Structure 1
Amino acid sequence: MGAAVSGWLTEPVPRARVAAFRTLVYLFVAADLLVFTPWIRDKASIPGELYQPLFVGRLLPLPTPTPLLVNLVFWALLLLALAAATGRAPRALGWAVFVLYFEWMVIAMSYGKVDHDRFAFLVALAVLPTVGRARHADRTMSEAAGWALRVTQIAVVCTYFLAAWAKLRFGGLEWMTGSVLARAIIRRGTELADLIAQVPYLLIAAQFGIIAFELLSPLVFVVSPRWRQAVVAFFYSFHLVTIATITISFAPHLVAMTSFLALERLRPVERLRQLARRGGQDAEAVPAEPPAARSPAVP
């Protein structure tokens, strides 16, 4: 039994897959800082007495955010994430990015609201440095790469399953029969959500469906590989509907969920190199323009 579990956790995958995943993850860190959550920098101007650190922030303990600390973490994280996306010094840069992003999340979530869409992404940042070097064109099978992706996948599924557990723990069965989605639509619903809300009992049915989907999410690990891709596609479609109706993106979670995909097939680096070579060849193939003929001298 132990050998079977160990083999499942470390099922080899191509190093190119984790290389592509790593590039995507670190580029998202930069995008997160600049596009998705730039509001975190505003914490620098909030009085320190309003800082209520998470349990881990009290346990370590982490310093109270100041303008110097927040801006230092921001710029260091941005530069190191872009450097880590190149694949160079994967362990040193990877651990540095994880520590800084962890602190960035503690700063973000220590003022009253804790988002659960960051869990799997943080796990991905924690395990990627353990893989070591991996290139986009490297098709060598690696247990270390497989372990990093598997642990991230488990974190993705835990996000769903534990979300259902929290709903039932704090909301009880009434969560499914209440007005949770109706309140969400009132607060931040789109025009599409307004149309859906007019259908009798559809929101109640959706709440039952959400609980069922989240509780059954671990089944993604027991279905065949072909069906697994269909299940992952359903995961993405769920979030697409969420974005389209109540404008909640779960962007970091969606990035972590690419750990289920065969990213090595995309070969972004190879395609860019091919385009660059093709562009150079086309430029060489263009014949030089002949010099203009001189007009005869006018007597």
Structure 2
Amino acid sequence: MPRWLTEPVPRGRVAAFRTLVYLFVVADLLVFTPWVRDKASIPGELYQPLFVGRLLPLPTPTPLLVNILFWALLLLALAAATGRAPRALGWAVFLLYFEWMVIAMSYGKVDHDRFGFLVALAVLPTAGRARHGDRENTEAGGWALRVTQIAVVCTYFLAAWAKLRFGGIEWTTGSVLARAIIRRGTDLADLIAQVPYLLIAAQIGIIAFELLSPVVFVVPARWRQAVVAFFYSFHLVTIATITISFAPHLVAMTSFLELERLRPIDRLRRLARRRPGRNTEPPQQPQARAEPATAPEVAPDTPSAQPSPAVP
């Protein structure tokens, strides 16, 4: 088990994953959860903190607190995406984003797609330094990615457990997907809903998929990427039918991928070195023109010029 938990991975994979995670924090603040800033204008008595918010305890959100969190998190996440000071910046981003999520989820709705992403933020500071394209293996980085993978799979498995715990086996034959399609379904979902028993089959398939998700850890390595591709295809269908993206979960799930092959930083550096309007390739030297080969002249009286005698 310890060897499996700390299976070495290239440092370049850790660097790519780190950059992707911290850039998503920026995207989350600006695109996915900008509504968290609106909580600053809500009366404090409506704030019902999560258990961890009561345990610590964390302060009631105020306009000053929320805006300080927003700008500090935005700037620190951009700095952490560069890979510099991975421990100091990593811990700072995790703590600030954790408080940001407590504020977001303390008004009656808790999204379980943040679990794997929060775990990734918590373990990345322990991975140490890593550069893009570095092929050297690291056990610390392997542990950080493995723990994130476990959190991703737990998100699926525990979701199925919650469905069966609170809804019972009747969840599979209920109207869960039908209600979701009525609330936020797309045209594709409307077409699917017209097929008899297809939604029931889909609900049974969802439970089976979530319960069997730990299989990704035991299948042969050559099949693991195919299983992860199936995970992504499941969410693609979810987005196309009921417009639920699970964006932070999808980012955490890249911990299964060989991200070191992308090497985006190296490509950006090569592009930055190129200047517009200039040819970066060295000038080619003109090749010397080859003269046609000519046969040497032979004097007519030389032996080699005489015809060879016939052989009887």
Report if TM-score (shorter chain) is over 0.5. Answer: yes
1:209 has 2:202 as partner = no
Q: How does 1:276-287 map to 2 (within 5 A)?
A: 276-279=272-275, 282-283=278-279
Deviations 1:119-154 (A, max 9, x none): 000000000000111000211100000000000000
- Where in structure 2 are the equivalents of 1:140-289 lying within 5 Å? 140-279=136-275, 282-283=278-279
TM-score by length of 1: 0.92
Matched residue SS, 2:60? coil
Shift of 1:273: 1.9
% same residue: 88
Q: What does residue 297 of structure 1 align with?
A: none
Displacement of 1:276 after TM fit?
Answer: 2.8
Match of 1:82 in 2: 78
TM-score under structure 2 length normalisation: 0.89
Distance 1:12 1:243, change over 3 A: same
User: Are residues 178 and 31 of structure 1, via their aligned partners in 2, closer, same or farther at CA, if it must alter by over 3 Å?
Assistant: same
Distance, in Å, in 2 between the alignment partners of 1:183 and 1:100 is 35
Once the two structures are TM-superposed, the CA of residue 45 in structure 1 deviates from its matched residue by 0.4
Q: Which residue pairs with 1:97 in the alignment?
A: 93
Match of 1:59 among 42, 46, 55: 55
Change (3 A) 1:29 1:243: same
| Residue 30 of structure 2 is aligned to residue 34 of structure 1 | yes
Instruction: Compute the displacement of 1:275 (Å).
Output: 2.5
2:128 to 128, 132, 150: 132
Q: 1:116 aligns with which of 112, 115, 118?
A: 112
The structure 1 residue matched to 2:7, chosen from 2, 11, 14, is 11
CA distance in 1, matches of 2:278, 2:257: 34
Report the number of matched residues. 283
- The amino acid of 1:259's aligned partner reads S
Does the Cα contact within 8 Å between 2:274 and 2:280 map onto a contact in 1?
no
- Tell me, in whole angstroms, the C-alpha distance in 2 between the residues paired with 1:137 and 1:181: 44
Q: Is the radius of gyration larger for structure 1 or structure 2?
A: 2
Structure-2 separation of matches of 1:188 and 1:251:
17
Distance 1:141 1:132 in 2: 12
Q: Compute the RMSD of aligned alpha carbons.
A: 1.4
Gaps of 5+ in 2: 284-312
Task: Please state whether the residue corresponding to 2:219 is helix, strand or coil.
Answer: coil
Q: Answer 1 or 2: which has greater helix percent.
A: 1
**What is the CA–CA distance in structure 2 between the aligned matches of 1:23 and 1:63, rounded to whole Å?**
30
Q: Which runs of 4+ in 1 moved over 3 A?
A: 277-287
Q: Which runs of 5+ in 1 are unaligned?
A: 288-299
- Displacement after TM superposition at 1:188 (Å): 0.3
